[in-house]
Amino acid sequence: MTPRSLFEKVWADHTVRQLANGQTQLLIGTHLIHEVTSPQAFGMLRDLGLKVAMPHRTFATVDHIVPTDQRTEPFSDPLADEMIKALKKNCAEHGITYFDLNSGRQGIVHMVGPEQGITQPGTTIACGDSHTSTHGAFGAIAFGIGTSQVRDVLATQTISLSPMKVRRINVTGRLRPGVYAKDVILHLIRTLGVNGGTGYAYEYGGEVFDRFSMEERMTVCNMSIEGGARAGYVNPDETTFAYLKDRPYAPQGAAWDEAVARWRAVASDPGCHYDDVVTLRGEDIPPTVTWGINPGQGIGIDENIPAPQAAGSADERTAIEEALAYMKLPGGAPIKGTRIDVAFLGSCTNARLSDFKEVAAYLKGRKVAPGIKAIAVPGSQLVSAVCAELGIDRVFREAGFEWREAGCSMCLAMNPDKLVGDQICASSSNRNFKGRQGSPTGRTLLMSPVMVAAAAVTGAVADAREVFAVN
Amino acid sequence: MALAKIITISGRGVVVPGNDIDTDRIIPARFLKCVTFDGLAAGLFADDRKAAGGGHPLDDPRHQGAAILISGANFGCGSSREHAPQAIRKAGFRAVVAEGYAEIFFGNATNIGLPCVSAARADLQRVGQAVAADPALSVTVDLAAMQLRFGGNAVPLTMRDSARDALVNGRWDAIGELLEGLPQVAAVAGRLPYVSAPA
């Protein structure tokens, strides 16, 4: 048989039929919903008089607008309160499993799926959120959809979609100490551009990914969309199976063994066709920080902020000028030493146990610099609970971080956690777009959690390897 | 469900310049606090418009009533929020012409019958100059001929075949077709243990 990629296999397994316009009617085996992009879809369903086709294949939680301080209803923001009530009502009405604030399992939707073992290899996963690519870490084809497609999945468990091309991305060798999964993806987006992945699913592999934990793989897959790739995935392996074993929704007993056999077989075959191949050396990847207004505008911590006159093209020059004007940063100056106002450790990119554990190891005995607002927001109630068990929350609090409840928080600032005025934030999140963190003039510098901690304790962008003597 | 066949769109154009215009800029997150898409027009480019202090092209009185939004490369990158194309539509636009689009935005726009066509940069500059010189100029997006026409000029447009087919044949909202496939959906689901097994 012709060798096939994981993408081809999963696509074939889930193809229902070809539609008149040439697209595929694709089965979405797992559908995740949250409070922001689902109420309109349920409204459309009601208008059309349709039912949810497979309620047992949709799972809901609340993350985008839920406050991370106040946790009892009614919430102080009446609009947020209305949306959360709508989600609860829609789930109850249609028989959909809802991990609510009292479940102990609530969290950012892209954390809940893996934690519960809902996210599995060889599956298709859709959610009305572009960071659905996160679930690709398990060898799933996972991608964001719009609300009309949320309606389509609810009503038919399928959507109309064209297949993507597949770009294999190898990261060879090893990462240097103090370099993290976040740096890998920021470096990759810097290299390939924010639209370099348009039309592609990214298949990540190579020694660095082989060694990565599931949490590190999730961090990279999460930001595939920031490079324009709607989906990104890693072939399932022993690391994947070990993570999933005994999770609540993982198969049990004999079904587990059968599932593992299927999951092994779904990985890309040696010699399969890729539409493109890109190879990076792990050793070449520096701790990376963004200086601009899209995630591709990143540089190594030792580099200087680009100056317009050094641009290679007229386009690049315009982009640099626009970014510097918004960021109020001097072109040509080192990024290191840039003063910050806020440090945010959270989001579906970096709010997992390993992120907080790693930072806590360095934060012990350190203090957030005077005048810096530092907040840590676990991605899920489960992460929060384990951090409490391990005393990680206390390390953060003693260092001067506010330790919050689970949610998306200041990644997109739909809840009360927002930048004020033109505050500049060292952030472990995924987007540095204009106004992203809730203030129309707020500024975001994306970096790894350990780099956020280094910025928090020094009050400025710093090389965490120096601040924390990493070697 | 009979859907409109979207073949030609004519109206005035307005240029919102720039590349990589993300959906947070098209509609900032605070406008997503709603349970219906009604009223989204107020959020369209809200922060950019505020920052421009009335100087944003969308606030230029000469461009009021424009039906065709013209922009740069990688338009609509970032978040999957359908609120972005919904806000563009609710503000009165009937087509977008740009150098290129982020994938999720493109799909979301197509699904609500908002054509997103691509044109070469030089041609976008020409139409931009023509619209600036005469804001009342009629611009036509022709999906049959795949042409953009303005003031006696005609330049080529491109669009993914499946999207063009869906728009011109009135099947841009897939729900009807997807529902027709439900018996086959059940068959495919039955072959996939994770879908068919009770959770």
* Residue written as token pair 């008089």: A49
- State the average pLDDT over residues B43-61: 96
From residue B114, how far is each of A103, B90, B92, B107 by CA, in Å?
A: 40, 11, 11, 10
CATH superfamily membership of A6-266: Aconitase, domain 3 (3.30.499.10)
Residues of chain A with Cβ-Cβ distance to B20 below 8 Å are 194-195, 294, 319
Q: Is B51 on the interface with A (CB under 8 A)?
A: yes
Beta bridge partners of A167: A202, A276
**Side chain identity at residue A287, one-letter code:** P
Residue A158: pLDDT band by 50, 70, 90 thresholds? Answer: very high
Pairing of strands A402-403, A373-376: parallel
Angle at A389 between CA A387 and CA A392, to 5 degrees: 40
Instruction: Give B43's contacts in chain A (Cβ within 8 Å).
Output: none
Q: Nearest-CA distance from A223 to chain B in Å?
A: 10
Q: Provide the sign of the torsion angle of the four alpha carbons B5, A163, A130, A102, taken in this order.
A: positive
Q: How far apart are CA A130 and CA A94, in angstroms?
A: 24
CATH number, domain B8-173: 3.20.19.10
Residue-wise pLDDT tens digits, A263-317: 999 999 999 999 999 999 999 999 999 999 999 999 999 999 999 999 999 999 9
Dump strand ranges (E) for chain B: 8-11, 13-15, 68-70, 95-98, 116-118, 139-142, 147-150, 153-156
pLDDT digits (tens, 9 = 90+) for B96-120: 999 999 999 999 999 999 999 999 9
**Chain A residues with beta carbon closer than 8 angstroms to that of B5:** none
Q: Verify whether the Cβ–Cβ distance A156 to B185 is below 8 Å.
A: yes
Block residue for tokens 């505050």: A423
Residue B199 pLDDT exceeds 70:
no
Give domain A291-467's CATH number out of 3.20.20.80, 3.30.499.10, 3.40.50.300, 2.40.400.10: 3.30.499.10
Residue A129 contacts B, CB cutoff 8 Å = yes
Strand, coil or helix: A199: coil
Tally A–B CB contacts below 8 A. Answer: 223
Q: How confident is the model at residue B1 (pLDDT cuts 50, 70, 90)?
A: low
- B122-158: per-residue pLDDT in tens? 999 999 999 999 999 999 999 999 999 999 999 999 9
Q: What SS3 class is residue A93?
A: helix
Q: How many CB atoms lie within 10 A of CB A8?
A: 17
Closest chain A residue by Cα to residue B173 = A148
Q: Considering only CA atoms, which of A207, A236, A229, A29 is closest in space to residue A139?
A: A236
The minimal CB distance from B102 to the residues A156, A157, A228 is found for A228
* DSSP three-state, residue A18: strand
Cβ distance of B178 and A156 shorter than 8 Å? yes
Do B119 and B148 touch, CB atoms closer than 8 A?
yes
Contact call for residues B155 and B119 (beta carbons, < 8 A): yes
Strand, coil or helix: A10: helix
Q: Is the dihedral of CA B56, B59, B62, B64 positive or negative?
A: positive
User: Where are the CATH 3.30.499.10 domain residues in chain A?
Assistant: 6-266, 291-467
**Is the Cβ of B48 closer than 8 Å to some Cβ of chain A?**
yes
Interface of A with B in 37-56 (CB under 8 A): 37, 39-40, 43, 48, 50, 53-54, 56
- Reported as a single tens digit per residue, the pLDDT across A217-245 is 999 999 999 999 999 999 999 999 999 99
pLDDT digits (tens, 9 = 90+) for A21-38: 999 999 999 999 999 999
Q: For A61-88, how does the pLDDT look when each residue is reduced to its tens digit (9 = 90+)?
A: 999 999 999 888 888 899 999 999 999 9
CB atoms within 10 A of CB B155: 16
Q: Over the stretch A378-410, which tens digit does the pLDDT of each residue have?
A: 999 999 999 999 999 999 999 999 999 999 999
- Residues B46, B59: Cα–Cα separation, whole Å: 11
Whole-structure pTM value = 0.97
Q: What is the mean pLDDT of chain A?
A: 97
- Calculate Rg over the CA atoms of chain B: 19
Chain B residues with beta carbon closer than 8 angstroms to that of A249: 199
* pLDDT-derived band at A471, boundaries 50, 70, 90: confident
Amino acid identity of A153? V
The average pLDDT across B84-104 equals 98
- Let me know how long chain B is: 199
CA-nearest residue to A296 within chain B is B20
List of residues 6+ apart from A398 with CB closer than 8 A = none
- DSSP state, A227? G
Query: If we measure between CA atoms, which residue out of B113, B122, B112, B167 comes closest to residue B148?
Result: B122
Residue A32, Ramachandran bin (φ over 0: left; ψ between -120 and 50: alpha; else beta): beta
pLDDT in tens, A321-333: 999 999 999 999 9
Pairing mode, if any, of strands A58-61 and A97-99? parallel
Rounded to the nearest integer, the mean pLDDT of chain B is 96
Q: How many CB atoms lie within 10 A of CB A222?
A: 27
Which residue blocks in A237-293 are alpha helix, DSSP H?
Answer: 238-244, 254-266
Best CA proximity match to A461, nearest among A469, A99, A448:
A448
Between CA A399 and CA A367 the distance in angstroms is: 4
